[in-house]
Structure formats: structure tokens, C-alpha cells
Amino acid sequence: MTRGLKRKRDCDASHAQQENGFESPVGRQVLEQCYASVWTLRDYVLCKLPSSSRLRRKKIACLGRHVDQDLAHLLETTLVCFAEPAAETNAIVFKQFLAFSQGTDDASICSPDLWSSPAEAQSEIVDFVIWLLFKRATSQTSLPKNVLCHGFRRRLREGESCNTTIPGLYSFYANPYVEALKQPPWPQLLALLGQSGHKIMVDLLLDCSLFVTLQAGINNYIQIAGCPLSTLDAVFSNVPADSSNSVRKGSEIRLLRHRVFYGKPTLSARGHLQPGFKHIHVLNRCPYIQPTQNHVSSDKSAQNEVNTTHILMYMFPRQFGLHNVFTSTVNQSQTSQRFQDYTLREVSDLKLAKHRGSDDQLVKVPKRLRGAARQLVRRLQILHGRCSYSELLHHYCPTYLDRHDGCATDIDSSFLSASYVSASNGDDAHGATNPVPNASGSVLKRPRKIHHRTWQSMAPPPTTESLVELACPHSHVSAFCQGVLARILPDEMWGDGDTRHCNKKTFLHNVDRFIKLRRFESMTLHQISQGLKMSEIAWLKQPGARDRPCQSETKKRLEIFLEFLYYVFDSLLMPLIKNNFYVTESNTHRNQVFYFRHDIWRLIAEPKMADVKRDMLEEIKAAEATEFLSSRRLGLGQMRLVPKGHKMRPIMNLKKRITGKASSKFLGPSINSMLGPLHAALKYEKDTNPSRLGSALPSLDRIRPLLADFKASLGATNHVLYFVKMDVRAAFDTIPQQAVLSLMVDILARNRYEIRKHAEIKPGQQLARGSTKTRAVRRWHASAHDAEDGISLADQLKHGTWANKKNTIFVENAFSKTYEATALLSLLAEHVQANLVKVGKKVYRQKTGIPQGSVLSSLLCDYIYAELEQRHLAFLDSADCLLMRAVDDFVLITSTKSKAIEFVHKMHGGIPEYGVEVNREKTLVNFDMAINGSRIASISHGAMFPYCGVLIDCKTLELAKDQGRLKDIALENTLTVDLCRHPGQNFQKKVLGAFIIQSGPMFFDTHFNSTKRVLISLHEAMALTCRKMCAYLRCLPKPRRPGSSIIIR
């Protein structure tokens, strides 16, 4: 007994030694966060063997030094993960196994000597584990969450055809992991374990997750047994899983700021702008009704009570038991966002509130909200009714329209066009006409308004170098929002005395910060509440409460106050911005956000949208559109315009989920997600036959090897190299649709494609010194292969881009689907020839080109232009020419000047067969050339040639990063500052990321570039990283700036 205990201690110590030395990022940073124990297979079987099996322990421990290399590799590299410590074998399970093996229900008559070979025994064990997992499933329709059960289903009826030896189950596709566990060296391992091998193997496959190494890549694993790692959502999220008892903290509630982007204004029946809040906002649907001077109507008083209660339910939904951001679970079938939109609550949701007595109209208001809180909400209703949003908008955010009184006499007649001029006798749309007092009590001067004019009769915008100059400055927008909120929110809501002044100042400062955030930045409820004092806010107190509140009372006050703050930002500030400004990014200003007044945006966007409709779209009648949508799989895309210099660029959104056909409540899949199988099939064909893509670059990293091969083909002789770069104008919008469809019939050459999904799980970036805990990163990928091949995921990962992966765990999804090539081609035809776009309230069909926002667009463009190269640019297919193309950006490098000139003439002449028309302004050469007397732009002597963010030396072909594209952009606008959690770690992550972006391997390759060029590239990358680091530090508030220990390492 003593010897057995000693042996156990030796085993544990051995495992501890092994575990401490296990430094794989996959095991240390991913698996150890998911499971309580992560062992190698060798350690697992050593600890599971009886203490009396000393010889077997010694043999397993020494295995692999001279013989049995395969088995030793399996023991050493396979990872065994389990949630609970390794327990003794369950006797009942083993009796079930004996009965299963004998094919009887009586385990007492079973003999353990049932198999003639270890291979048969191993096969029986695997089948038993699958059978038992299905037996343990809670219902007949549910599938066990185990990789071994993929491909198996229950037989619904007795006598149904069966293609497997497992009772009650059938296999509708082969599970490669089941077959792998039945093949060597697993039977050899079972034989090595001796008499206890069956029990150990059953426990291993039944209760543990197994990860085996892949031959492809570096330190990659694939899961072959256990609950799929990809289903453990808590591993990949900082937020705990939703449950009835969980309450989200303020730091976990992030304002969904993207909701303010691309908003539409509220218009009257005559098309006039209505500033303020939309008509569906609860403040407009539940107004305060002023009583008459003679008498107070009881009906009006009752209606006011109902309206005030209704607003209370919107403001404090958690107190009424309604859906809220703190405790409620988000229905992902109704929204793709992290939190639901509470602008308009459904009647069914409001009915969940507790009612008073038998009258359903009288909602039971919580005691804490009946007194001062209710009076303040009523005061909010009154102030909202008195607020002149139009006057405030014109005062704080004036534009050139406010300088014209009634007509456009001050505007040069050259700006006028027929699309703007239209007579109208509509009413004034600027709201109330009363003077508006400012914060000091003085009266704001009313701006002169445009009387009796519609959108079209307003003066067109003046000529500017960039359209973003017509946007309102952030300070003006901030002043407007602060002015509105300061007028409609009663001062008592922020407390009394000095507390009121301090809280209101802090709140308005947070409003200003919210307005000035960059595109991808946001704020959390915790940040908003910082610096606000609750001790002197009277309406939060319970009636009759003591001056020194207890802990539960303080917690309750914080709960109500956080609800109030979330309502103010989410349901007052953001709707106010969205209804009064069109918020958008620019194509040339990176992450900077611009706020256009809706009247200004309408004037600059309508002419461009009219051009798009004329050139690219054709309108479909409402009845025809309804019939069309009911009979098609793909939904509607949405189009918007983005400023690009003095022009506008159309952007089509095909990623957005839209409501399904049967209901306007539930969201269906997006167009791009429905095109996923087709995209996977095209990627498979691209990887299988890359020559069909012509000169297309799969990535910019391919530039260096192509240049190296071209340089080697030229030999040691110094050749004069001629460079030509040109861009196809509106490439996606001009590609002939029929040409694409005809070409794809030849590209999709297989009869059937099998599409499977798998998850790739990687360790997160480790930032803090000495820290080992990082959040794992999960990405889902779809892959295709020929359905006739029957290739497994492990074999498929040996080829293509997956072969370059490292420190990755691959987990296959339970489902795969086979598609006929004809079905995929039909889907492509529907997508290309019947792409429906919604603009405003009308539906249009794209009559030319391919959808720009489609996941297929780049691949389709690569294939069609590859055919163009084969037919019209075959003269460049020689050793003295190198043609490269990034989608629609061509660059030619050749030692023959005549070919460079012929290429320019050929492309500038246009190729109507493929819709190619070159953008002459963007054509660039490194030699003197003119076409029809017009000189082609050229680089200066000795300068490097720019192409897609890369500079190429015209003599040596050395590479450098093009830093000139950032010279006109403020570095602050290229950043995304994260102020929420761990600002120091986020700062370090951003700085390292900035350096990685600037330091591609091709710039530091000393075999291709000279040492001097590499040092220059390194210096430029470090200098730009330092500049970005300083800009990031300036954007951080002083208390949140990291210390020198993080900045200097």
C-alpha cells in the first residue's frame, strides 16, 4: 500500500515536471483556459495505469528511444484535456461496454476475452463510445456534442437501412476521426496498456478531449475527440454568458455608437425637414398635454399620467421587469448587434410590466419612482415640448443656407442646375418661432430662414476642394447636443447645490467626448458614470431613507442611476444626432467622422445618386419587386455614398442581415453569407489552378518573389527598366455581366462541391510582462473540395494557405453540405444579373457591372481580367516583361520600351468587350510619353515607383514602404483609441500593431534589398511608429496614460 502511494506521488511529480515545462502557446494560452487539466497522452496513461504495473510504466516512459517511433510520437504530442481530475473507471460504464461487445443486455455472462486482436478491440471501444454518447443525449432529436459523433444519426424506424455496426445508428458521411482512432498506432497503444487498457481507453474517449498534431504548419493541432472547443463560447468572450442571475457591469455595456451613422431625417408630408427627434420617439408619442386656462380636463390629466408612466418604463425598464441591457438576453434572431434597440418597444414587451389592480391601463410604478423621479420625467416632457430644436440647430451649426433669406441671389448662376430649381408653396419646416434663451438667459438671435422652399429649390453648395468642408465642425455639433440636453433635462436630475454643477459639467464633458470619437471608437457606461456623484441626488433616494445609506441602498441607487445614464446616451443623445446630422466617414480621411446637416447632405448627395441611378441601376415597380423577392433566395442590398475629395463614391452593403420574407421581426442571413458556398468553391478552384488568374496578385507579399524571378531572368546585364501603372475606371461597375457568367461555367469544372466549415483557434496576443493569460481568438472558415475526392480536413490543411499556419487549433464543424455546380452557377446568375438594391423606398436592379460589396467581386474581377490579358495582352507574355495586377490596378515592368508604349496605347484605347476604360489621370510612367498631344504623368528622375503602398526602385527593383500616402492625413485620424479596459495593454498592442503594418518581410529581406535600403526601411518604420505612439498618447486622457515602464522596454 505504501509502495502504491509512493508510485502515485512519483507519477504526479513527473506530470508536474512535464506540465511546467510544457511551453507550447496552444497548450499554455488556449487549452489551459478551457480545461482544468492539459496532459500529454503519455502522462495520462501513466497516471491511469494501476500502481502495480511497474514494468508497463517503465516501458511506456522509455518508449521511442529506439523503436516504435510512431507510437512514441503519438504519446508525446497528443494532448489530453479534461475538466475534472482523472477519476477511477466507472464500473457501470465498463459493464455496459462488455454487454455492448457481446451484443447482449446481460453483462454477467460476458467475458473480457472477446477479441482476437487489439485492432478489433480498439474498433469495438470506439463504436461503444459513440453508442453511449447517443444514449446519454437528452432527447431523440438532439445530437451529442462530441467530435466522434459527427456524421452519425439515430435510426428513426426499426428495419431502416444501416451502414454501420453501431446499434440504432446510421452514418450519412464518414467520420475521419473515428477511422483514425481505429488505425495504428492506437491499437498498439491499447495492447501496450495490458489488462487495464480497455478501461483506460473507454475513459479517454468518453470523458476527455483529444488534440493531435498536424503535419502541416508549425505546432498546429486538430481535435479528434471530445466536446468541440469551438462551442465553448465563454473562452472567446470577455463577457460572461447570459443567464437569469447574471448582471452586466457598467464596463461590459458599450454604447452602440455605429447606430448614429448613415441616418435618414424626418420629413413632413411636403418634404420639409423636421429637426429634433423622430416622430416615433417616445417623447413625441407620449407628450405632456397642456391643460386649458379655464379648467383642467380629467381626461387630459389621466392621459398625462399614462404618458409619464410610459416614459418611465422606457427610462427605467429594469425596475418594471422589462427587457434591458443589464439583465436581459439578446435575441440574435432579431438583431445582429450586442444589445437591442429600444427606440420603439413592442406592445408585448410593455405588457410584461406589473399592473396595479384589475385595470390593465394602470401600470404599477415602483415606489422609488413615484415621487420626485416621476415629477422630473414630467418636467422633461414639458421642456421637450417647449424646446425649439430648429432654432438651436441653426444657431449652433450654421451653414451657407442660413445666410440666404428666401432666395439664392448671392449664389453664382453657374452653380444652379435644373435638378435644384423647383417652385413650392410649402410651409416653413423650422419648428417653433419663439426666441431661444441660451445658458446665460439671454435670447439667441434668430437666424433668417428660407421661406416656402423645398429641398430642390435650395441653393446648391459652393465649390470646394473637398466635400467634407461642408460638414459641421465637431465643436458645433457638440455645442448643439449639449444645448439641447441642457434644456430638456431638468437640472434637479443631476442633484442639488455644488453636486448639481459638478455632475452637469461632467455629463456635458462626456457628451463632448462622445461627439469627437473616431469611427470605430465608443464609450462604456462605466466611463460615462466616472466622476458623477450620487450622494446628493434626491430623486434616487427612497422615501424616508436615512442620510447614511446602507450598502444595499447605495447599490440600488447606482442601479437606477446607471439606467438613467444609459437612457440619456442611447435614447436621447444618439437619436438626436442621427435625426439632425448625416454621420459618415470619408474615403480619404481614414477614421475621422464627419457630421453633415441633413439639408446639406441632401443637396450634395442627390445629384450623385441620380447619376448612379441613370448609369448603373434601373427601377423596378413595387408589385414586380415584391413578386421578385418572394421567389428568390437573395435579399436586398443597400447603397450609400461616401465623400471622396470633391466626388462621391457609391458603397453597396451586402453584409447586413435583413428581415425575412415571412416576418418583419426576424432577421435572415445576409447576401454575402448566402454566397459563402459559392465563394468557397471559387477559392478552391483558385488554389487548385492559380494560373487561371493570370497576373493577379493573391497578396502584396507576392511582389517580392515575382520581382526576384524577373530580376533573375534579366541576368547580370544592367537593363533600363520601363514602368507603367494604370487603373481601370469603375472596374466593378463596368464588367459585362454575361461575360462573367460565361467564364464561370468553365471555371467551376467539378460536378459537385462539398463545403465544410471549421474553426481556427489561436492564442491571443500576450502583452503584460510575465502574464500567460490571453483571450483566445476564434475564426470560422468555409472550405470546399471535390465531392468525389472524399478528402478529410486534416489532408486538406496540408495544402494552400493553411500550410503556413502556426500555433492554431482546428476544429471541424458537425455539418457539411454538397452542392451541385449547376446550383452554384444558378446562384451566381441570380446574384450578378438580378442584384436588387434599395435606395430610399424604391427598389432598383443593377443593370451593369457586378455588385461592388459582394464577397465574390474580387475573384470575379481577377478571373475576367485574366481572360482579358490572355486575349489582348498576350504580347507581354515574355521573359522581358513582368505584369502584375491587384484587382484592377495594373503595373508593367519591362526592358523593352516599345512594349511599354504599346501597353499604354492598348489600355488607353479601351477594351469595350470587357468594359475597360482606363482612368487617364491615374496613369503613371517613369519615362517621357504623350498620347494625342496629352502628356502622361511620370515620376521624377531617380524616384522610386509607387504601386499599392509599395515603392519599387526603377534600377535595382528594391522595395520600400510608401510613406507618402500619409503626408496629407493627420496621424490622429488613423488611430482607434480604446479607453475601456486595460489602457496600458491596449496602448502596447496598438504600437506593436503599427510597427507590424509598416514592417513587411519583403522590406527587410537582405537577399533582395541592399543593406542600406533595409536600414532606411527600418528607420522609416520606427519613425512612423514613434509618431503614431506620440499621437496615441496625446489622445489619451492624462490619468489614463501609461507609465514609462510600459512605454520604454
CATH number of the domain within which 408 lies: 1.10.132.70
One domain for residues 342 and 406: yes
Q: Is 896 helix (H, G, I), strand (E, B) or coil?
A: coil
Contact status, residue 202 vs residue 127, Cβ threshold 8 Å: no
Residue 70 within any structural domain of the chain: yes
Please state, in angstroms and rounded to a whole number, the distance separating the CA atoms of residues 794 and 369.
61
Residues above pLDDT 90, as percent of the chain: 55
Cell of 955: 534600377
Q: Is 589 helix (H, G, I), strand (E, B) or coil?
A: coil
pLDDT on residue 265: 92
Instruction: Give φ, ψ of 596 to 5 degrees.
Output: -100, 135
Q: Among candidates 21, 68, 64, which has minimal Cα distance to 40? A: 21
One domain for residues 172 and 111: yes
Cell of 259: 447606430
Using the predicted structure, report yes or no on whether residue 196 has a pLDDT greater than 80: yes
Using the predicted structure, report yes or no on whether residue 851 has a pLDDT greater than 80: yes
**Greatest mean pLDDT among 161-175, 380-394, 545-559:** 380-394
pLDDT on residue 294: 58
Using the predicted structure, report yes or no on whether residue 425 has a pLDDT greater than 60: no
Kindly report the pTM of this predicted structure: 0.86
One domain for residues 388 and 312: yes
Contact status, residue 591 vs residue 976, Cβ threshold 8 Å: yes
One-letter amino acid identity for 488?
A: I
**Model confidence pLDDT, tens digit, residues 503-521:** 999 999 999 999 999 999 9
Cell of 610: 441620380
User: Of 555, 585, 615, which residue constitutes the final position of a domain?
Assistant: 585
Q: Which position has the higher pLDDT, 978 or 827?
A: 827
Q: Among candidates 163, 167, 139, 138, which has minimal Cα distance to 151? A: 163
Using the predicted structure, report yes or no on whether residue 719 has a pLDDT greater than 80: yes
One domain for residues 928 and 1014: no
Q: Which position has the higher pLDDT, 201 or 99?
A: 201
Please state, in angstroms and rounded to a whole number, the distance separating the CA atoms of residues 343 and 534.
27
Radius of gyration over every alpha carbon of the chain, rounded to an integer in angstroms:
34
Residue 637 within any structural domain of the chain: no
pLDDT on residue 290: 84
Please state, in angstroms and rounded to a whole number, the distance separating the CA atoms of residues 634 and 851.
13
Who's near 124: CB < 8 A, 6+ residues apart? 100, 101, 114, 115
Please state, in angstroms and rounded to a whole number, the distance separating the CA atoms of residues 177 and 761.
19
Q: Which position has the higher pLDDT, 925 or 152?
A: 925
Using the predicted structure, report yes or no on whether residue 413 has a pLDDT greater than 70: no
Contact status, residue 197 vs residue 44, Cβ threshold 8 Å: no
Domain count, the chain: 4
Separation in Å, CA 732 to CA 675, 735, 740, 848: 17, 6, 11, 9
Using the predicted structure, report yes or no on whether residue 871 has a pLDDT greater than 90: yes
Instruction: Give φ, ψ of 931 to 5 degrees.
Output: -125, 120
In terms of Cβ atoms closer than 10 Å to its own Cβ (0-12, 13-18, 19+), residue 958 is buried
For strand 881-886 and strand 836-839, is the pairing parallel, antiparallel, or unpaired? unpaired
Q: Which position has the higher pLDDT, 827 or 535?
A: 827
Contact status, residue 764 vs residue 661, Cβ threshold 8 Å: no
Is residue 600 within a helix (H) or strand (E), and if so which, with residue range?
helix 598-616
pLDDT on residue 777: 87
Using the predicted structure, report yes or no on whether residue 651 has a pLDDT greater than 50: yes
**Model confidence pLDDT, tens digit, residues 455-505:** 555 666 777 789 999 999 999 999 999 999 999 999 999 999 899 999 999
One domain for residues 205 and 285: no
Q: Which position has the higher pLDDT, 121 or 450?
A: 121
Residues in the chain: 1049
Residue 593 within any structural domain of the chain: no
One domain for residues 293 and 210: no
pLDDT on residue 123: 92
Lowest-pLDDT choice from 629-638, 702-711, 1017-1026: 629-638
Q: Where are the alpha helices (DSSP H) in 489-591?
A: 497-515, 525-529, 551-567, 574-580
One domain for residues 967 and 945: no
pLDDT on residue 238: 52
Residue 940 within any structural domain of the chain: yes
Neighbours of 446 (CB within 10 A): 16
Q: Which residues of 307-343 are buried (b: 16+ CB within 10 A; e: fewer)?
A: bbbbbbbbbbbbbbebbbbbbbeeeeeeeeeebbebb
pLDDT on residue 14: 44
**Model confidence pLDDT, tens digit, residues 316-371:** 999 999 999 999 998 888 888 889 999 888 765 666 666 555 555 568 899 889 98
Residue 628 within any structural domain of the chain: no
**Greatest mean pLDDT among 116-130, 480-494, 537-551, 756-770:** 480-494
Residue 660 within any structural domain of the chain: no
Range of the domain at 937: 676-951
Please state, in angstroms and rounded to a whole number, the distance separating the CA atoms of residues 575 and 218.
50
Q: Where are the alpha helices (DSSP H) in 215-292?
A: 282-285
Q: Is 595 helix (H, G, I), strand (E, B) or coil?
A: strand
Please state, in angstroms and rounded to a whole number, the distance separating the CA atoms of residues 542 and 536.
13
Using the predicted structure, report yes or no on whether residue 431 has a pLDDT greater than 90: no
One domain for residues 995 and 945: no
Residue 592 within any structural domain of the chain: no
Lowest-pLDDT choice from 331-345, 525-539, 840-854, 921-935: 331-345
One domain for residues 208 and 305: no
Using the predicted structure, report yes or no on whether residue 223 has a pLDDT greater than 50: yes
Contact status, residue 949 vs residue 997, Cβ threshold 8 Å: no
User: Of 905, 933, 951, which residue constitutes the final position of a domain?
Assistant: 951
One domain for residues 978 and 1007: yes
Please state, in angstroms and rounded to a whole number, the distance separating the CA atoms of residues 743 and 582.
41
The C-alpha cell 497548450 sits at 27
pLDDT on residue 616: 93
Separation in Å, CA 620 to CA 54, 641, 652, 844: 81, 21, 18, 5
**Model confidence pLDDT, tens digit, residues 291-301:** 766 555 778 88
E strands in 92-203: 152-154, 169-171
Q: Grade residue 454 by pLDDT with cuts at 50, 70 and 90.
A: low
One domain for residues 946 and 966: no
| Half-sphere CA count of 170, side-chain side, radius 13 A | 11
pLDDT (average), residues 939-955? 94
Residue 639 within any structural domain of the chain: no
Contact status, residue 1008 vs residue 952, Cβ threshold 8 Å: no
Q: Among candidates 797, 771, 764, 769, which has minimal Cα distance to 783? A: 797
Q: Grade residue 582 by pLDDT with cuts at 50, 70 and 90.
A: very high
Residues in a beta bridge with 373 = none
pLDDT on residue 795: 83
- Mean pLDDT across the chain: 84
Instruction: Give φ, ψ of 456 to 5 degrees.
Output: -70, -25
One domain for residues 943 and 964: no
In terms of Cβ atoms closer than 10 Å to its own Cβ (0-12, 13-18, 19+), residue 45 is buried
Q: What is the dihedral of CA 966, 968, 971, 974, to 10 degrees?
A: -70
User: Of 951, 971, 986, which residue constitutes the final position of a domain?
Assistant: 951
Please state, in angstroms and rounded to a whole number, the distance separating the CA atoms of residues 132 and 120.
18
Q: Where are the alpha helices (DSSP H) in 208-335?
A: 282-285, 298-315
pLDDT on residue 805: 86
